[in-house]
Amino acid sequence: MPRFAANLSMLFRELPVLERPAAARDAGFAGVEILFPYDEPGHLIRQALDRAGLPLILINTPPPNWTGGDRGFAAIPGGEERFRHDFRRALRYAQVLGARHIHVMAGVAGGLEARDTFIRNLAWAAATAPEQPLTIEPINTHDMPGYFLDDFDLAAEVLDTVGAPNLALQFDAYHAHRITGDVMGTWAAHGHRAAHVQVAGYPGRHEPAGGEIDYPAFFARLDSDGYAGFVSGEYAPEGRTGDGIGWIT
């Protein structure tokens, strides 16, 4: 079985943020991710992580909140200065927290100018922080209308064009299902580019168990392919988080 992480922005929300790392550890998770940690002082989050003894696998950039704010600036023509400002802030948090990956969000945009902007910004970010692993993630436009990076083939093209060793794919099986309807086939085509994996059930984006995505088969495929990264539960629990974590055992 893969190593599982808990997305603390979506799981254990019945607890204060700084108590969630310990709850994730007690539930059996081996790591955590936090979408946007910027509302809490970084040193307090780091202390909570250290007390729990869990690594922080991933944070997102940019800082705006994820419940209605902007969805990134990396592909927004004319937004280069905002992107660079936000990336530097994310980088500072990643260094304080020991975050293994920063997910660079593209934002709502479209067309060739957006593609070229995305590529330039990613190349700048990868060169600015060559020791910091970065990811990009295709996100379905049902959940995030207008999001630029809405296709796995486009992500592959961008990764190949940038060609940075510290830039990789973030593979979310829920988004893959909504984009292609074929999680296993999409992984077969693009999984070799992935440095981080996220999961949620479909329909409903609840626990990754049952539903239309065969997660036992997907996890077995990750093992057989030698995937060495974490698999993070990024879903909305149907009830209390602890009542629905049987999928990690």
The residues assigned a catalytic role are 137, 234
Read off the amino acid at residue 18: L
Cross-strand partners of 33: 7, 58
Interhelix angle 152-162/112-128, rounded to 10 degrees, is 50
Q: Which of 55, 129, 134 is nearest to 98 (CA)?
A: 55
Characterise 79 by phi-psi region: left (phi > 0), alpha (psi -120 to 50), beta (else).
alpha
Could you tell me the CA-to-CA distances from 212 to 142, 148, 170, 177 in Å, in that order? 17, 26, 21, 9
**Tokens 């940690």 sit at which residue?**
37
* Rg of the chain taking only CA atoms, in angstroms: 17
Could you tell me the CA-to-CA distances from 216 to 41, 237, 246 in Å, in that order? 38, 19, 12
- Do you know the residue count of the chain? 249
- Cα dihedral value 141, 143, 145, 148, nearest 10: -50
